[in-house]
Amino acid sequence: MERKKRGYLLVNFGGPRSLVEVRPFLEALLTDQEVVRTKFPSFIHKLLFKKIAKKRAIKIQNDYASIGGKSPVYEDTEHVANALRRQLHGPLVTFHRYLPATHKESLYQIKTLDVDKIVVFPMFPHFTYATTGSCATFFDRHLPSKINFKIRWVKSYPTHPAFIDLFSYCINEYLAQHHLRANNTVLLFSAHGLPKLFIDTGDIYQSEIENTFFKVMEQFPEAVGQLAYQSKFGPGEWLTPSTEDVCRDVDIWNKDKKAVLFIPISFTTDHIETLFEIEKKYVPLIKKKGIDVHRLPAFNGRKEWIDTILAILRDAPFSSNSMLLRH
């Protein structure tokens, strides 16, 4: 029997590769109704949030300028893709959700894959309709049905043993390199937030984040662990506690631990949320309390992350593209 040919698709958020790309990045993000949900008709929503993106881009460009004038997400994702290509038996295409300039080429490459199955690996460990679901919706709208029929997703991997082992390894490595003791350190896990409405209407993101948090903390019984959510945008109730509030009150709940280690629980690549939001906004709040504070880098392009992706691809269950659409 002839073995079916398999191709791969690596998907990530995307991030502006220059200050010029900040505005189109924000437009693509804010006009996506999987991310910003309103009751407006689609054309009104897009018109309104294009204006908001234009205004917001001016401030956000300054934030990006302070971290080098771009996001490292694109380059890190392509680095991971190249490393995977050397080990996978099949072609691999990348897709950057909010980089519109890359979409035409990505869609062309996906359509021309000479394979029987396309396995999609999201760089988002935890499922939400606002990230993984948004990519699935994009494919549903922009790819022929015969291509979508071939797509099989790794939906998420919040408690996959290889993923938990990688987190534990990176934390232990950092603690050792910086002469920190687990029994005298707070492990502060910061995840990207979501509106509470998303969770109330069936999104499983919060439970998957919590599952990762508890699994990792099992490896560090002597440490104090805290989970928080960052990056709130717009009105409405979001997941709590917020990272900002937790940092302001750190001396109240930290049980007199002498150090805090920020851990980007939902971010596999460093970007504006870790390099600017955590470094520039939250770290100083803890420093003001006289507490030693550190930030664990995201996995980025490290070899152990490549090995983890390969391990997940070997044994994770698959979902069809249609199963990840919000109805």
Judge whether 99 and 17 are in contact, CB under 8 Å. yes
Segment holding 122, helix H or strand E: strand 117-122
Burial class (CB in 10 A: 0-12, 13-18, 19+), 218: exposed
Judge whether 52 and 28 are in contact, CB under 8 Å. no
Same domain, 199 and 279: yes
Cis peptide before 100 (omega within 30 of 0): no
**Whose structure tokens read 């001016």?**
58
pLDDT value, residue 234? 81
In terms of residue numbers, what domain contains 239? 161-295
Same domain, 188 and 141: no
Same domain, 112 and 176: no
In a domain, 1, yes or no: no
Which value, to the nearest 10 degrees, does the dihedral of the CA atoms of residues 74, 75, 77, 80 take? 170
Residue 169 vs residues 172, 184, 263, 304: alpha-carbon distances, Å = 5, 18, 13, 9
Same domain, 32 and 62: yes
Same domain, 79 and 179: no
In a domain, 279, yes or no: yes
In a domain, 148, yes or no: yes
Q: Could you tell me which residues come within 8 angstroms of residue 302 by beta carbon, excluding any fewer than 6 positions away?
A: none
Distance CA 229, CA 238 (A): 9
Judge whether 243 and 190 are in contact, CB under 8 Å. yes
DSSP 242: B
Q: Look at the chain and report how many structural domains it folds into.
A: 2
Neighbour tally for 40: CB within 10 Å:
13
pLDDT value, residue 3? 64
Q: Greatest CA span in the chain, whole angstroms?
A: 67
Same domain, 137 and 64: yes
Determine the straight-line distance between the first and last CA of the chain, rounded to whole angstroms: 38
Looking up residue 210, the CATH number of its domain turns out to be 3.40.50.1400
| Degrees, nearest 5: CA angle 207-188-271 | 85
In a domain, 33, yes or no: yes
Segment holding 61, helix H or strand E: helix 42-65
Distance CA 98, CA 15 (A): 7
pLDDT tens-digit profile, the chain (327 residues): 456 799 999 999 999 999 999 999 999 999 999 999 999 999 999 999 999 999 999 999 999 999 999 999 999 999 999 999 999 999 999 999 999 999 999 999 999 999 999 999 999 999 999 999 999 999 999 999 999 999 999 999 999 999 999 999 999 999 999 999 999 999 999 999 999 999 999 999 999 999 999 999 999 999 999 999 999 988 889 999 999 999 999 999 999 999 999 999 999 999 999 999 999 999 999 999 999 999 999 999 999 999 999 999 999 999 999 999 998
In a domain, 260, yes or no: yes
**Whose structure tokens read 């790794």?**
154
Q: Could you tell me which residues come within 8 angstroms of residue 319 by beta carbon, excluding any fewer than 6 positions away?
A: 152, 153, 155
User: In 158-223, which ranges are E strands?
Assistant: 185-192
**CA within 13 Å, CB half, 233:** 16
Same domain, 120 and 167: no
Same domain, 119 and 192: no
pLDDT value, residue 1? 44
